[in-house]
Amino acid sequence: MDYKVRLLERADLNRVYEIEKECFVNPWKFSDIEYELSENPVNKFLVLEVEGKVVGFNDFMITFNSATISQIAVTKDFRRKGFGTILLNEMEKYFPNEGDDVVENVTLEVRASNEPAIKLYEKHGYEVVVKKPHYYPDGEDAIYMVKRLMLCR
- Establish if 81 belongs to a structural domain: yes
pLDDT at 152: 47
pLDDT at 153: 46
Residue 53, exposed/middle/buried by CB under 10 A (0-12, 13-18, 19+)? exposed
pLDDT at 1: 78
- Establish if 153 belongs to a structural domain: no
CA–CA distance, 109 with 130 (Å, rounded to integer): 10
* Spatial contact of 145 and 108, defined as CB atoms under 8 Å apart: yes
pLDDT by residue for the chain (153 residues), tens digit each?
Answer: 799 999 999 999 999 999 999 999 899 999 999 999 999 999 999 999 999 999 999 999 999 899 999 999 999 999 999 999 999 999 999 988 777 778 999 999 999 999 999 999 999 999 999 999 999 999 999 999 999 987 544
pLDDT at 125: 95
Q: Give the domain range for residue 9.
A: 3-148
CA–CA distance, 118 with 74 (Å, rounded to integer): 15
C-alpha torsion angle, residues 117, 70, 37, 31 (rounded to 10): 100
Q: What pTM value is reported for the model?
A: 0.92
pLDDT at 151: 57
- Establish if 126 belongs to a structural domain: yes
Active site residues per annotation: 109, 121
- Establish if 102 belongs to a structural domain: yes
SS3 assignment, position 93: coil
- Establish if 15 belongs to a structural domain: yes
What CATH number is given to the structural domain containing 26?
3.40.630.30
- Establish if 125 belongs to a structural domain: yes
Could you give the number of structural domains in the chain?
1
